């Protein structure tokens, strides 16, 4: 899967304002709604929060990947947000997060969802890549970093 086929400049925000997990999730959903990527915001929010209650999607190294599956989603959609301040996201390493990647996918399709999560996790194992994302000055710059 090529991240550039899923992400666009409209689905990247370099200045998330949320102060906690719920605010960040809502802000990421707003990005997807504004980009006309999700038809039913409430269903998407329910899917993401349901997944979050099962186990936090805060990973390691300051990254969180809130995600969910919804019958209202027909193809995998994703967005990326960067917060200027660290946010407590109940991460596995107990460190706050600054990079957030949200993805929503159809209930009946597991392949693209798992492939996307695998590609994202590989990409962000690199501390250099993570720092480049945090230092990026534009959505275009982030797309370029993700495609290298």
The yes-or-no answer on residue 61 being catalytic is no
Distance CA 148, CA 38 (A): 28
Find the catalytic residue in 15, 61, 67, 74.
Answer: 67
Each as own residue / partner, the long-range contacts of residues 31-34 (CB below 8 Å, 24 or more positions apart, any chain) are: 31/79, 31/81, 31/102, 32/77, 32/79, 32/102, 32/104, 34/10
Q: Is 106 helix (H, G, I), strand (E, B) or coil?
A: coil
Q: Is 127 exposed, middle or buried (0-12, 13-18, 19+ CB in 10 A)?
A: exposed
Q: Say if CB 15 and CB 84 are below 8 A apart.
A: yes
**Which residues participate in catalysis according to the annotation?**
67
């Amino acid at each position: 899967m090529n991240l550039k086929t899923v992400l666009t400049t409209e689905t990247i925000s370099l200045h998330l304002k949320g102060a906690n997990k719920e605010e960040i999730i809502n802000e990421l959903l707003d990005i997807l709604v504004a980009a006309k990527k999700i038809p039913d915001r409430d269903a998407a929010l329910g899917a993401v929060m349901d997944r979050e209650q099962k186990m936090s999607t805060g990973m390691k190294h300051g990254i969180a990947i809130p995600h969910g599956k919804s019958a209202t989603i027909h193809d995998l959609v994703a967005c990326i947000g960067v917060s200027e301040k660290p946010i407590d996201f109940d991460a596995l390493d107990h460190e706050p997060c600054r990079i957030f990647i949200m993805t929503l996918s159809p209930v009946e399709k597991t392949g693209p969802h798992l492939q996307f999560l695998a590609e994202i996790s590989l990409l962000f194992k690199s501390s250099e890549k993570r720092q480049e994302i945090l230092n990026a000055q534009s959505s275009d710059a982030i797309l370029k970093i993700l495609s290298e």
